[in-house]
Amino acid sequence: MKHWLLPLAGAGIALLVALGTNPAGMRNLRFHLGWYDRSAREAQIGETLKIFNRLFATFYATGGRLEGLNDFPAGQMVKRRVFQDIFTFTEQNAILVYDRDLFQLKKVRFPDPERAVALADEVWFLTLQESATRKAKGPSKANRLQVRYLLRAEQGVWRVVDFEVYGPDDVVPDALPRGF
How sure is the predictor about 7, in pLDDT bands with cuts at 50, 70 and 90?
confident
**75 found inside a domain:** yes
**155 found inside a domain:** yes
Q: Does the pLDDT at position 32 exceed 60?
A: no
**23 found inside a domain:** no
How sure is the predictor about 15, in pLDDT bands with cuts at 50, 70 and 90?
low
**42 found inside a domain:** yes
Q: Does the pLDDT at position 45 exceed 80?
A: yes
Residue 78 pLDDT: 98
Indicate the range of 33-37, 112-116, 133-137, 145-149 predicted with least confidence: 33-37
Distance CA 129, CA 136 (A): 4
Full residue range of the structural domain in which residue 116 is found = 36-166
**173 found inside a domain:** no
Percent of the chain at pLDDT > 90 equals 67
**26 found inside a domain:** no
**88 found inside a domain:** yes
Residue 172 pLDDT: 95
Is the separation of the CB atoms in 116 and 148 below 8 Å?
no
Residue 34 pLDDT: 60
The arithmetic mean of pLDDT across residues 12-40, rounded, is: 67
Distance CA 117, CA 114 (A): 11
Which is nearest to 54 in space by CA: 160, 134, 144, 176? 160
Distance (Å) of CA 79 to CA 10, 22, 46, 87: 48, 31, 19, 12
Q: Does the pLDDT at position 21 exceed 60?
A: yes
Q: What is the tally of helices (H) and strands (E) in the chain?
A: 4, 4
Is the separation of the CB atoms in 31 and 114 below 8 Å?
no
Which is nearest to 117 in space by CA: 103, 135, 132, 105? 105
The arithmetic mean of pLDDT across residues 124-141, rounded, is: 92
How sure is the predictor about 156, in pLDDT bands with cuts at 50, 70 and 90?
confident
CATH number at residue 42: 3.10.450.240
Residue 51 pLDDT: 97
**106 found inside a domain:** yes
Domain count along the chain: 1
The arithmetic mean of pLDDT across residues 158-177, rounded, is: 94
